[in-house]
Structure 1
Amino acid sequence: MKKSLAGVVATAAALMFSVLSAPPSQAASQPLKIDFSTTTGDFRGGASGTLYGFGDEGAPTQALINGAHITNTSQKPPYGTQHPGGDTLKIEDGFFAKHGEDLYIYAQDYYPEWPYNSGERPGDERTYDLAKGTYTEGPNGVWDYLEVLEFVVEAVATRSEHPEKYVIIPFNEADGGNWYPDWATQKDQFLGDWEATYNEIQEVYARHGLGHARVGGPGDSRWLKQRSSDFVAFAKDRKVLPDIWIWHELGIENLATYRGHLAEYRALEQEHGIGPLPVNITEYGMLRDMGTPGQLVQWFSMFEDTKVDAQTAYWGYSGNFSDNTARPNGANAGWWLFKWYGDLEGSQTVKVTAPQPDTADTLQAIAARDDTNSRATVLLGGSDDDVALQLSGLDRKTFGASVDIEVREVATTGAEGLAQTPRVVWAKNAVKLNSGALNLPVQTYNRYAAYQVIITPSGDRDVAKAYAAQPWTTTVEAEDTKVTGADITTHDPQASGGWTWLASGNKDVRAFKTLDSRSDWTVKVPRTGAYRLQVIGASNKKPGRHALFVDDRFSKLVQYAADLHWDYRGSAEVLLDLKAGTHTLSLRTSQDGKTLLPNPDVTLDRYLLTDVTDGEPTQYPASTFRLYNGAKLDHGQASLSGKARSDLYVTAMDTGYYDVDVAYRTKKPSDVRVTVNGRERAKLSAKQSGSWKSTVRLRLVEGINEIELRSPSGVLIDTLTTTRVRKSDASQVVLEAEDARLEGQASVTELAASVGSNASGRGYVGYVGNGTENAVVFDRVKGYDQPGDYDVAITYANAELKGDHQYNPQVVDRRAELQEGTRPIGHGYFRYTYDWNSFSQRSIAVTLKTANQPLRLTSSQGWAPNIDKVTVAPAVLGSPLTQRLR
């Protein structure tokens, strides 16, 4: 197994390899040609759509939604019972907040069963209440499904703020066991029903003066040429053509066959004289593709190249972008591929020549140029071999005679494994262009990793220096360690039709459950200090524990939260102090060698060790900013003035205080406004012209934080840098729920040590909510005994399921509400944690207006999650500091 470039960083000199004037000669490299002079159209950005990717409000969080730049999603309808959460009307505000464009409804999701209505087309057996979406048994002369459609579309027409942005899908996989599987005998029935449902949808919109309602179809489970041809002919003749043509591309083989299917569909359009219609592949990919950037980039590339929208399939559970988020607010590696893809907004895609086009599980790429901001980008992945990137067509008028280059890597962290901001794995300043061309070797980790290459005109920022200044880190595959008392398992990514989540490097360690089970490896750390060990692994449906030994002495317990499955990998993180030099690290199932720790049978995939002695400073250069309302890159700096805005998505590996540094230049007295997760937190000021660095100490929440920068009077921003300041966590107040005042039915459950829970203290409080009289009440104490802005981090468990499904856990997002006394101050929905003894963290920003009214946690809408503890911390510490750089 090759090591990640990020895993062998020591100094810039140790990694610098030259940009060549001719293609690399190593046999292991695959050539990838990018011609920036040949554009293939405006960036569409629709390939990162998602099916049931949204749960209830705030699940995923708004930072995850905005950062992923999802333009289209399919959800269940109002009154729908197929899934407990994700009603379109409940998620539309968050979806449309920034990048959402098209909100699709699977109308048949009204029915709780899969296949719908037990696979049988309903007749006229019920009478429905239009206002309530309920029914009574007994016919009324109207086909039942037409009544369902009427009240579903009526709800959208009358209750949505954006009915024009909806797309109604009357039928989902009608060919695949949902009412019309036999085309030979059921064709006429389906076509007649399509016409009836199409007209019903239009009638509802018309009676509310909304104009044309957009309809998507036919929605087949796969590409079916004859069925599609019959449908086109009928729909054209009856004037009931869908506005968006829909089908699914799910299997591994569809990575090879999709383009042929699309070509056949476009030929049908020409044959029948229609279109071209927009296309949305409303389900694509298998379990193995989700959360895995090197797989996702293959799908993204072909959908973007053909300028269609597409949605990741629903295989795990709802509300996590189809396994492309981690924890309540975190990014896994897949999320970062979504984010990188969304960063291409406003650019034009260019010609890519892959070594094996239309071939599953091979090197593929997306490339784009943004002439306004003089920025070129390549996203690539899917190869076990290194890549010989051959770039041409970099126009001198846009990029000048030389360019700065940065290459970032994101390697898979599992579905629930927290991914840090992708590291720069190679960078170089002032690379000369030879007639607009250059060749760049990219050393790849494995086929499951993806890479972002950013090229900008040479500027003042020293990209090589920034690369070398990154904190030291190293990584090792679990199977490459010395494994005792456990099994090394190889996983074929094409086995079982892709019905498995992937292991990094195709191998992991299993049956890690006996007293002698251990994994040992040697590391050499560059200096004495603090280090974070991250273990990527899966604890099946319950929390687990391991003992970490350093040089054969017990150091720390490694605590795992529960995961969905043995293959559904998450991550656990611990801090440890190490002296400079070589050490042997060892994960074991027992601390004393005599007694097994609770639930030690954890699948082990990969280990990462990172130097955090200096707070792990992470730099976000202007070349990676998203720019809006007139903001633009000016020689590598983000130019802001007036209403211009830059959006950044920064990672906090744990909730706490971070110094946020903004480096900028001014031509006159000016300021930078800093908004964090939707709330303005700081105003950074420079009193005169010059180069400045302003620092503000902010509370960031675990996972992804959205930071917006504005400057009404104008600045040029170079970088934003975050640095963890753990000593300032002393300003937070930790309140154990079991020590709080309990009202109503709220009660304490004490946890036995044998369950291996990751709860703090001695237990948790349950039976909170289901009426505001059942509450946990925290009296005001020093630390939050003054009015002001605070972050309230709630550590909770929620393993509620509702209903059954063939392969998906029907998860419920439980709601919790915060009150100051009796005044509502905030609320949130809390996603699934897999087990009632497994706890996660979700933060809510609040403003307290008194010094003495208690903080009250309850829920007026159903039961709240079980509460372990609440951590209250000021949103900002101190005042911003500004210093002149030069």
Structure 2
Amino acid sequence: MRHRKAALVPLLVLAGLTVPSPAQAAGNTLTVDVGTVVRPVTHVAAGGLYATDTGTKPPLEQMYPLRLNHLTQPPPGVQQLGNGATTPCCDGLKVAGKVTSAGAQQFWRLPDVYKDFPYKWVSWADWESKVRTMVNARLSATTTTNVDGYELWNEPDWTWNTASAGSFNAGWTRTHKLIRSLDTVTPIVGPSHSVYNHDWMVSFLTNARDTGTLPDVIVWHELENDRYLDVAAHVADYRAIETSLGITPRPISINEYASPSQVDIPSVAVHYMAVFERHGIRSAERAYWYEAGTLNGLLHNNLPTSSYWTYKWYGDQSGNIVRTVPGSWLEGVAAYDSTRKMVNVVFGGDSGNNTVRVTGLGALGSQVRATVVRSGTTGRTTNQSAPIAVSSGTYTVSGGTISVPVNAMHAWDSYQLVVTPTSGVPTWQQRYEAENATVVNANRFSAGSASNGGYVGQIDGSANSRNQSFVDFLVNVPSARNYTMTIGYANGTGATATQGLAYNGGAFQTVTYPPTAAWGVFGTTVNTTVTLKAGWNMIRLAKGSPNYAGGTGYAELDYINLS
């Protein structure tokens, strides 16, 4: 959303977080239940609208630590001049290589081919000509693998010209059918209303069901103050509508979230992260209210602001999202990586003296190290080079539980708590779970024998760049050298299977997987060698991928381990 004409809530009142006095807010407890898994870590809320441009705006080195999940970018031929821009920005095709390097996927917002916002409708002939051009550009981009949706319109509840174009539902059907006549593979997403509205959703889905034009991903926006308070109700209402209409459940994307007065408040970002993870959202993206190509204000002059650190800590999470129970406005999102024995909690929202209580820590030993840092609140035009230290200490685990006091909290700051054993913690991450990685045209599953309980299966596609199947692991290593890469896998075909292995855009080599006892039963590994640069590297294991002829048979992926 850009140039939205709505009254903005004053900055001192942010999403229900009217800054309380310590006497009103102190004494709240956020509970983290390490033993209750919510879902695999996929960094659901790590995304943005118009977040990246070409070149060094923003630099890949600043993108990597965020482990971006999903972006919405304008289409090829973009003419949109949002928020006072003088030249179009962020063409989804031109940034595709950069997006893949960062580990993300993207929607293309098709109406941003228009220059103005709100969009100025010309005619159906004009629109359909534009759609054909955009879709054909995607079909011609045979090495681009990260376009996982055409967003047919943006906020039709106030930008669709009913007087000239007819009803939006009829326009959706007409556009959907045109695209499917050209491209039968790339997902179609929508309806992308600016707010969630029950009646609009019923009307839209009924028409889409009856015309055979249901979206592959359901999209709406959560943009007004206090919207994160309503996410649970909106998801429940939407699922009830699906059931009532006999529609197979669709993934949900909130591809714009946070109001202008919220978007640069670190603790508000934490609230959105928590509710999106808790309520099954597939992907979510910071709104574009100001300048493009800055990761939506996480960077200023290509360097971090205070909000950047909130998303960096979230990007550091691995393993599984575990249950958190907020206390008043004290909210958080937490992850536990059982192979690293690390708990990572990102939290915030209250002032005064509060507590984070972590349960289920038996596997970490009788004593643990707990370290707390905070973000600060610089806003979007002041840089902050590092988080601010709060506390660090050793805690005795009693009944699997510790309670960490966090004193003199500021309601706008975000905080990170990391809990590890007091010794034996590796200095860098060596194991990367497949279910935490970028999974393209395949699916995540759970299994008791799998590392951290999850794996990726149905890595089956090899036909073309729109349905080839692969898993991309974004890894960070301490030095340039050869590493032994151990791959945990299952191959229930009864015969040898192969996949392609490539890293950092280099040539493919073949990985061979001998048969194992059954699908979804893990413990078998194969080893290979990879030559990596110091720092961030992208490793792809593929059944099918551009520049790769395709693997033989099938294999499921549990993890990779670098040593």
Question: Scaled by the length of structure 2, what TM-score is found?
Answer: 0.70
Q: Which residue of 1 aligns with 2:476?
A: 647
Q: Does 1:111 align with 2:83?
A: no
1:384–1:446 contact (8 Å) kept in structure 2: yes
Q: Which residue of 1 aligns with 2:183?
A: 205
1:204–1:365 distance in 2 versus 1, CA, 3 Å? same
Q: Which residue of 2 aligns with 1:409?
A: 374
Q: Does 1:435 align with 2:399?
A: yes
Residue 175 of structure 1 aligns to a residue whose secondary structure is helix
Deviation at 1:164, TM superposition (A): 6.2
| Letter of the structure 2 residue corresponding to residue 261 of structure 1 | H
Q: Which residue of 1 aligns with 2:262?
A: 289
Q: Does 1:383 align with 2:383?
A: no
Q: Does 1:364 align with 2:331?
A: yes
Q: Which residue of 1 aligns with 2:419?
A: 455
Aligned 1:564-583 pairs, distance under 5 A? none
User: Over residues 341-383 of structure 1, what are the superposed CA-to-partner deviations in whole Å (9 max), with x where a residue is unaligned?
Assistant: 11113x2111111123xxxxx3210011111211111110111
Among residues 359, 384, 387, which one is paired with 1:422 in the alignment? 387
1:323–1:26 distance in 2 versus 1, CA, 3 Å? closer
Among residues 312, 315, 332, which one is paired with 2:286 in the alignment? 312
Please give the alpha-carbon distance, in whole angstroms, between the structure 1 residues aligned to 2:537 and 2:126. Answer: 52
Please give the alpha-carbon distance, in whole angstroms, between the structure 2 residues aligned to 1:221 and 1:340. Answer: 29
Q: Which residue of 1 aligns with 2:316?
A: 343
Q: Which residue of 1 aligns with 2:41?
A: 43
Please give the alpha-carbon distance, in whole angstroms, between the structure 1 residues aligned to 2:278 and 2:102. Answer: 24
Q: Which residue of 2 aligns with 1:352?
A: 324
Deviation at 1:90, TM superposition (A): 1.0
Q: Which residue of 1 aligns with 2:232?
A: 259
Q: Which residue of 2 aligns with 1:523?
A: none
Deviation at 1:234, TM superposition (A): 1.6
Q: Does 1:90 align with 2:68?
A: no
| Letter of the structure 2 residue corresponding to residue 350 of structure 1 | V
Residue 175 of structure 2 aligns to a residue whose secondary structure is helix
Residue 287 of structure 1 aligns to a residue whose secondary structure is coil
Aligned 1:144-543 pairs, distance under 5 A? 144-159=126-141, 161-163=143-145, 165-180=147-162, 189-206=167-184, 212-308=185-281, 309-328=283-302, 330-345=303-318, 347-356=319-328, 362-394=329-361, 396=362, 398-429=363-394, 431-459=395-423
User: Over residues 559-591 of structure 1, what are the superposed CA-to-partner deviations in whole Å (9 max), with x where a residue is unaligned?
Assistant: xxxxxxxxxxxxxxxxxxxxxxxxxxxxxxxxx
Deviation at 1:260, TM superposition (A): 1.1
Please give the alpha-carbon distance, in whole angstroms, between the structure 2 residues aligned to 1:626 and 1:442. Answer: 31
Please give the alpha-carbon distance, in whole angstroms, between the structure 2 residues aligned to 1:626 and 1:422. Answer: 24
User: Over residues 157-188 of structure 1, what are the superposed CA-to-partner deviations in whole Å (9 max), with x where a residue is unaligned?
Assistant: 102523563310111111113324x9xx99x7
Deviation at 1:80, TM superposition (A): 1.3
Q: Which residue of 1 aligns with 2:451?
A: none
Please give the alpha-carbon distance, in whole angstroms, between the structure 2 residues aligned to 1:379 and 1:706. Answer: 27
Residue 89 of structure 1 aligns to a residue whose secondary structure is coil
Deviation at 1:672, TM superposition (A): 9.2
Give unpaired runs (5+ residues) of structure 2.
1-22, 82-87, 437-472, 485-503, 506-532, 539-563
| Letter of the structure 2 residue corresponding to residue 89 of structure 1 | L
1:160–1:671 distance in 2 versus 1, CA, 3 Å? closer
Q: Which residue of 2 aligns with 1:99?
A: 103
Please give the alpha-carbon distance, in whole angstroms, between the structure 2 residues aligned to 1:354 and 1:301. Answer: 10
Residue 109 of structure 1 aligns to a residue whose secondary structure is helix
Deviation at 1:79, TM superposition (A): 0.8
Aligned 1:65-76 pairs, distance under 5 A? 65-76=63-74
Please give the alpha-carbon distance, in whole angstroms, between the structure 2 residues aligned to 1:201 and 1:265. Answer: 25
1:214–1:35 distance in 2 versus 1, CA, 3 Å? same
User: Over residues 179-237 of structure 1, what are the superposed CA-to-partner deviations in whole Å (9 max), with x where a residue is unaligned?
Assistant: 24x9xx99x7322211111122122224xxxxx22011111111111111111112122
2:305–2:380 contact (8 Å) kept in structure 1: yes
1:316–1:322 contact (8 Å) kept in structure 2: yes
Count the aligned residue pairs: 426
1:233–1:26 distance in 2 versus 1, CA, 3 Å? closer
Residue 146 of structure 1 aligns to a residue whose secondary structure is helix
Relative contact order, higher structure (CA 8 A, sep 6+)? 2
1:76–1:105 contact (8 Å) kept in structure 2: yes
Please give the alpha-carbon distance, in whole angstroms, between the structure 1 residues aligned to 2:51 and 2:216. Answer: 23
2:358–2:402 contact (8 Å) kept in structure 1: yes
Please give the alpha-carbon distance, in whole angstroms, between the structure 2 residues aligned to 1:200 and 1:150. Answer: 8
1:164–1:415 distance in 2 versus 1, CA, 3 Å? closer
Q: Does 1:622 align with 2:427?
A: yes
2:54–2:94 contact (8 Å) kept in structure 1: yes
Question: Scaled by the length of structure 1, what TM-score is found?
Answer: 0.45
Residue 386 of structure 1 aligns to a residue whose secondary structure is strand
1:56–1:86 contact (8 Å) kept in structure 2: yes
1:384–1:442 distance in 2 versus 1, CA, 3 Å? same
1:63–1:706 contact (8 Å) kept in structure 2: no
1:260–1:420 distance in 2 versus 1, CA, 3 Å? same
| Letter of the structure 2 residue corresponding to residue 374 of structure 1 | K
1:65–1:95 contact (8 Å) kept in structure 2: no
Give unpaired runs (5+ residues) of structure 1.
1-24, 125-142, 207-211, 357-361, 462-620, 633-643, 649-661, 664-669, 680-704, 711-886
Deviation at 1:708, TM superposition (A): 4.2
1:629–1:226 distance in 2 versus 1, CA, 3 Å? closer
Residue 55 of structure 1 aligns to a residue whose secondary structure is coil
Identity %: 24
| Letter of the structure 2 residue corresponding to residue 235 of structure 1 | A
Residue 334 of structure 2 aligns to a residue whose secondary structure is strand
Deviation at 1:108, TM superposition (A): 0.4
Structure 1 stretch displaced more, 372-381 or 399-408: 399-408
Task: Indicate the structure (1 or 2) with the bigger Cα radius of gyration.
Answer: 1
Q: Which residue of 1 aligns with 2:470?
A: none
Residue 307 of structure 2 aligns to a residue whose secondary structure is helix
Please give the alpha-carbon distance, in whole angstroms, between the structure 2 residues aligned to 1:116 and 1:27. Answer: 45
Please give the alpha-carbon distance, in whole angstroms, between the structure 2 residues aligned to 1:383 and 1:27. Answer: 6
Aligned 1:549-568 pairs, distance under 5 A? none
Please give the alpha-carbon distance, in whole angstroms, between the structure 2 residues aligned to 1:706 and 1:424. Answer: 27
Please give the alpha-carbon distance, in whole angstroms, between the structure 2 residues aligned to 1:27 and 1:222. Answer: 30
Deviation at 1:45, TM superposition (A): 1.3
1:172–1:220 contact (8 Å) kept in structure 2: yes
1:401–1:433 contact (8 Å) kept in structure 2: yes
Q: Which residue of 2 aligns with 1:868?
A: none
Please give the alpha-carbon distance, in whole angstroms, between the structure 2 residues aligned to 1:419 and 1:171. Answer: 37
2:97–2:144 contact (8 Å) kept in structure 1: no
1:261–1:288 distance in 2 versus 1, CA, 3 Å? same
